[in-house]
Amino acid sequence: MSISILMLLARIALAVCLYAFLAMVLFMLWRDLRAAAGLSAGPPRPVLNRLRDDGTVERSYPLTKDSCFIGRSPSVEVSIIDETVSAVHARMWKTEGRWWMEDLDSRNGTLLNQIPVSQPTVLCKGDRIRLGRIRLEFHTGESAGDPSDSDRPSPAEPSA
């Protein structure tokens, strides 16, 4: 075998490896974009939207776990930098298909639809939450038939 044939085979092998690498990179980008767009499998996750004074959404906080803390501390799941929000202000969790919220004895309190939260309370889609001067809106991310859209039950201690 001559050197020119070996060089040709090496170039072809290198080209095949390069195209395989590019195909793999494009596939991973496509998969990540689908996941970021919410097109991946799995149930939709709830979201807390931070609202501006005019009611438009300033920022969204996806709730990736079934239990989370909200506060000013960078170590909580929903970290909100504002001096009127306590370090660990409130807790949200999902139990028996419903989302609940409680205030954790915060300095400025937590309001749910302009009513002070003094005990664990069920959240419904579209509920307005106020932590200090920060306004949030809760969305379940599920269809209109989801249990959090039904009438709010009487407050009772959930089985957390």
DSSP letters for the chain: --HHHHHHHHHHHHHHHHHHHHHHHHHHHHHHHHHHTT-SSSPPPPEEEEE-TTS-EEEEEE--SSEEEEESSTTSSEE---TTS-TT-EEEEEETTEEEEEE-S-SS-EEETTEE--S-EEE-TT-EEEETTEEEEEE--S-TTSGGGSPPPPP-----
Give the model confidence (pLDDT) of 12-53 as tens digits.
999 999 999 999 999 999 888 887 776 555 677 899 999 998
pTM of the entire predicted model: 0.64
